[in-house]
Chains A and B, each alone.
Chain A
Amino acid sequence: KAGVTQTPRYLIKTRGQQVTLSCSPISGHRSVSWYQQTPGQGLQFLFEYFSETQRNKGNFPGRFSGRQFSNSRSEMNVSTLELGDSALYLCASSLVQGSMNTEAFFGQGTRLTVV
C-alpha cells in the first residue's frame, strides 16, 4: 500500500511569489492535515480537510490556504511568500471511522526555501 506522497520534495521561491504544494493521501484515507515545521516554532498545525471541506484550522494568516479534491488529494497554497515561510511542510492522512480520526500517517514533506 502506497504511503502519503508529497510533491515536490524541494522548492526554492522568491519573496512575494506564491507556491502550491501537493499531497496524495493513503488510499481510503479521507482526512488530510497539513503541518509546518521550523527550527524555531517546531511542528505547527495548519489545517485539516475532510470530504473536501476544511474541518479544523490552526493559527496561521490567510496567506495560507488549502483545498481538497473529490479523490481526497489535497493542495496547500501560500501567497505573498515571506522569508519566515521557509520550512518543511508535512502532510498527514488519516482514516476516519465514525467521526473519529485514526492515527496520522505522514509524508516525507516538502522543503520550501524562500529567498
Chain B
Amino acid sequence: AQSVTQLGSHVSVSEGALVLLRCNYSSSVPPYLFWYVQYPNQGLQLLLKYTSAATLVKGINGFEAEFKKSETSFHLTKPSAHMSDAAEYFCAVTPNNPGANSKLTFGKGITLSVRP
C-alpha cells in the first residue's frame, strides 16, 4: 500500500524566507506525486504534480518540488515566502497504473504560518 509522510504539523517562517515543506512517500514503484494547498473553508488547489517526467517540477505561485527516488522524497520549496502563502499544504500520492490511479492518498498536512 502506498503512503505519504509529512513530518511536523506546523511550520512558521518569516516573510521573505525560504519555505521548505517535507514529504516522503512509500511505494513499491515510483508513483505520481502531488502537492495541494488548502485555504480556510476552501477545497484543495493543485500546486504541482510529478508524473514521471522531469524530476524538478515547477508549480503555481513560485513553488517547486524535486522528486528524489533514492530518498523517496518530494519536498516542496519556495525561495521567498509571502503572507498569502499561509495555508495548509498536503502531499499526496497515487498509483502509476491505469484504473487505480484515481485514488489519492494524502499526508496529514502541514500548516504554514508566515510572520511579517
Contact = CB atoms under 8 A, between A and B. Distances in A.
Interface residues of B, number: 24
Interface stretch (B11-19, B63-71, B78-86, B104-112): B104-112
A115 interface: no
B34 interface: yes
A101 B42 contact: no
B102 interface: yes
Nearest to B46: A103
A33 B103 contact: yes
A45 B100 contact: no
Contacts of A48: 102-103
B104 to A, nearest CB: 6
Interface stretch (A11-19, A68-76, A92-100): A92-100
A85 to B, nearest CB: 19
Main secondary structure on chain A at its contact with chain B?
Answer: strand
Nearest to A107: B43
Nearest to B34: A103
Interface string B48-63: 0100000000000000
B72 interface: no
6 contacts: A31-B102, A42-B109, A48-B102, A56-B100, A104-B104, A106-B43
Interface of B: 34, 36, 41-46, 49, 90, 92, 94, 98-109
